[in-house]
């Protein structure tokens, strides 16, 4: 919308830290962009950027202005969804930051189910770790977050938390597959691949290992859970994942078993939004659908 254009320019400058580069991105001359922002600062009564030798950055006033702009966009999206409801046409856009574990099975099914009833709604799925997901909520880059064991909960309003035990992923012929109970020490004494420390599964594993004066020594550390699932089939090592992101292979070659809760209590898969935010209608209803599906999943597990 035209009256928000100046705020778009401020956001563009804040993103790249340079008037000249932002002008190129916005298809303007640097002088035109500078004049527009200076005019805004004069009308607003204070500067929003701190001028630096090699560029600019938002000052405290500018951060408040940018937050106001993002809040305004969110409110407009909510009103547009409500207007669409009045006309009987379900439209809108839902953005969600989620853990990798939700990508193979759960989230595709839920998005397809929702779009089957409301084909006018579009989606953006941002794959994020737990700290990044909360940051996305506070900057309005994502409307919802569905992540395993978020680190920070300051601005995070929990809609639903579902327990998820950490599972060992392995070939069916691996020696641990035949044990009646898998203990953490079994895993630490076995060649293993592990997610990088920023992920919730690794966070829980490291914490549990430290309690027993041990630590993980992965032969492969990665940010990809898909790589973990495939690698265990090649070398015959074990990997780790939460069950919502797992399915046994059709040929029975890949299996997964939970680690004993005596050593590693379940973590939580958390669905949430930014605290105090009123979600657009389409997003709010998709959140309700996700919560119901997660409750069903939890009761079946």
What single string gives the DSSP state of each residue in 144-186? EEEEES-S--SSEEEEEEEEE--EEEEETTSGGGG-SSB-HHH
Question: What is d(CA 216, CA 231) in angstroms, rounded to the nearest whole number?
Answer: 17
Report pLDDT digits (tens) over 210-228: 998 999 999 999 999 899 9
Report pLDDT digits (tens) over 75-129: 777 777 666 664 544 668 899 999 888 998 999 999 999 999 889 899 999 998 8
Q: How large is the average pLDDT for residues 246-271?
A: 89
- What does the CA dihedral 229, 234, 236, 241 come to, rounded to 10 degrees? -10
Question: What is d(CA 101, CA 114) in angstroms, rounded to the nearest whole number?
Answer: 20
261-to-11, 40, 202, 248, 275 alpha-carbon distances in Å: 47, 58, 16, 21, 32
Report pLDDT digits (tens) over 36-88: 888 888 888 888 888 888 888 888 888 888 888 888 777 777 777 666 664 54
Question: Going from the N-terminus, what domains does the chain have, and what CATH number goes with each?
Answer: 2-65 (1.10.10.10), 90-163+268-300 (3.40.190.10), 167-265 (3.40.190.10)
255-to-45, 174, 177, 222, 247 alpha-carbon distances in Å: 64, 9, 8, 20, 8
Question: What is d(CA 155, CA 137) in angstroms, rounded to the nearest whole number?
Answer: 8
Q: Which residues contact 118 (CB under 8 A, 6 or more apart)?
A: 90, 91, 282
Model confidence, pTM = 0.69
Question: What is d(CA 286, CA 114) in angstroms, rounded to the nearest whole number?
Answer: 7
Of 187, 175, 181, whose CA–CA distance to 260 is shortest? Answer: 181
Report pLDDT digits (tens) over 173-190: 999 999 989 999 999 999
Question: What is d(CA 157, CA 155) in angstroms, rounded to the nearest whole number?
Answer: 7
Planar angle of CA 79, 80, 85, nearest 5 degrees: 95
Backbone torsions φ then ψ of 148, nearest 5 degrees: -95, 120
Question: What is d(CA 204, CA 211) in angstroms, rounded to the nearest whole number?
Answer: 11
In this structure, how many other beta carbons lie within 10 angstroms of the beta carbon of residue 108? 12
Kindly calculate the radius of gyration of the chain based on its CA atoms and give it in whole angstroms: 23
Per-residue pLDDT, 83: 67
In this structure, how many other beta carbons lie within 10 angstroms of the beta carbon of residue 12? 19
Query: Is the pLDDT assigned to residue 299 strictly greater than 80?
Result: no
Half-sphere exposure of 61 (CA within 13 A, CB side): 9
């Amino acid at each position: 919308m035209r009256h928000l254009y100046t705020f778009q320019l401020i956001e563009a400058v804040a993103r790249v830290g340079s008037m000249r580069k932002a002008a190129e991105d916005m298809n303007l001359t640097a002088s035109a962009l500078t004049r527009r922002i200076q005019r805004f600062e004069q009308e607003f009564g204070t500067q929003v950027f701190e001028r630096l030798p090699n560029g600019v950055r938002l000052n405290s006033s500018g951060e408040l202005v940018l937050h106001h702009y993002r809040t305004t966009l969110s409110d407009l999206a909510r009103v547009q969804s409500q207007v669409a409801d009045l006309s009987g046409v379900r439209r809108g856009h839902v953005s969600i930051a989620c853990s990798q574990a939700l990508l193979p099975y759960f989230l595709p099914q839920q998005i397809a189910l929702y779009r089957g009833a409301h084909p006018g709604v579009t989606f953006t799925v941002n794959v994020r770790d737990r700290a990044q997901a909360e940051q996305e909520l506070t900057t309005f880059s994502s409307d919802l977050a569905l992540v395993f064991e978020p680190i920070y909960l300051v601005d995070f309003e929990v809609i639903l938390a579902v327990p998820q035990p950490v599972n060992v992923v392995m070939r069916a012929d691996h020696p641990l597959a035949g044990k009646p109970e898998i203990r953490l020490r079994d895993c630490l004494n076995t060649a293993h691949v592990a997610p990088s420390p920023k992920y919730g599964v690794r966070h829980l594993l490291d914490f549990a290992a430290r309690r027993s004066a041990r630590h993980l020594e992965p032969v492969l550390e990665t940010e990809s859970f898909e790589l973990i699932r495939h690698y265990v089939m090649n070398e015959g090592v074990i990997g780790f994942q939460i069950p919502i992101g797992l399915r046994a292979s059709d040929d029975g070659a890949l299996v997964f078993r939970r680690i004993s809760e005596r050593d590693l209590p379940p973590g939580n898969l958390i669905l949430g939004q930014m605290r105090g935010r009123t979600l657009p209608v389409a997003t709010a209803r998709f959140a309700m659908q996700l919560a119901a599906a997660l409750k069903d999943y939890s009761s079946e597990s």
